[in-house]
Copies of this chain bind each other. A is one copy, B any other.
Amino acid sequence: MKFYDCETAPSPRRVRIFAAEKNIRLQKVAVNLADGEQFSDRFRSINPDCTVPALQLDDGTVITEVTAICQYLDELYPEPPLFGSSPANRARVTMWNIKAEQQGLLPAFDAFRNRSRGFAGRALTGPDSFDQIPELAERSVVRARAFMERMNGELANHEFLAGDEFSIADITALTFMAVAIRLKIELPADLDHLERWHSEMSSRESAAA
């Protein structure tokens, strides 16, 4: 099993944190995104979407998309459960993982790639060229801040984002916060519960992954 990784990129970090929580040692293959290695013929034959992370199984099957990779690792290494531990809990974890990805992380990526000079002409990951849309960057910052308020409301009632157990949803949300901080998105005022949670998540050993 080979894990195609990039130390500096947020998406493979989600898998690294997940693996660290389960004490899984992944065989890593570095893909140099800064040099455009994801667009090389060699890497395109592994993942035509030109993105990391990707997990190549021993039979050659390639799994991409962070949640799919983590789900596969969870089946191989079930302890501790990071996708919830009852049908209703598992549904809540999946729900919050999707929200953290689609309402948090993807808008943060959109904000980053549609306004950073380094991404001119590459406003989306993947093999195709897209011009930046500054209005989309602005809208995305508003969405990212709105999701922080939404998280804060949820974290007023629970220790973790999807309830009383640490889960993949917390990992996705922690990665969202890291991108937001790098983007210097100002936190809305008085998000005490979000700050409490963020400080706890950041001090877990896995956050160094």
The secondary structure that dominates the A interface is helix
Minimum CB–CB distance from A69 to chain B (whole Å) comes to 7
User: 1/0 per residue A8-27: CB within 8 Å of B?
Assistant: 00000000000000000000
Comparing A29-37, A71-79, A175-183, A195-203, the segment that makes contact with chain B is A71-79
Q: Which listed residue, B69, B72, B90, touches A71 by the CB 8 Å rule?
A: B90
What is the bound-complex CA distance between A72 and B83, given in angstroms?
Answer: 12
User: 1/0 per residue A137-172: CB within 8 Å of B?
Assistant: 001001100100010010000000000000000000
- Contact between B92 and A61, CB atoms less than 8 A apart: yes
* A123: B residues at CB distance < 8 A: 139
* A131: B residues at CB distance < 8 A: 135, 139
* A133: B residues at CB distance < 8 A: 133, 135-136, 139
- Contact between A68 and B87, CB atoms less than 8 A apart: no
A206 in contact (CB, < 8 A):
no
Give how many copies assemble into the complex: 2
What is the bound-complex CA distance between A14 and B71, given in angstroms?
Answer: 22
Comparing A38-46, A93-101, A184-192, the segment that makes contact with chain B is A93-101
- Contact between A88 and B57, CB atoms less than 8 A apart: yes
* A88: B residues at CB distance < 8 A: 57, 59, 61, 63, 72
* A124: B residues at CB distance < 8 A: 139, 143
A7 in contact (CB, < 8 A):
no
Minimum CB–CB distance from A101 to chain B (whole Å) comes to 8
Minimum CB–CB distance from A63 to chain B (whole Å) comes to 5
* A69: B residues at CB distance < 8 A: 91
What is the bound-complex CA distance between A2 and B122, given in angstroms?
Answer: 44
Q: List 25 A-B contacts (CB under 8 A).
A: A48-B150, A63-B88, A63-B91, A63-B95, A65-B94, A65-B95, A65-B99, A67-B94, A68-B91, A68-B92, A69-B91, A71-B90, A71-B94, A72-B87, A75-B87, A76-B87, A102-B102, A123-B139, A124-B139, A128-B142, A128-B146, A130-B142, A133-B135, A133-B139, A136-B136
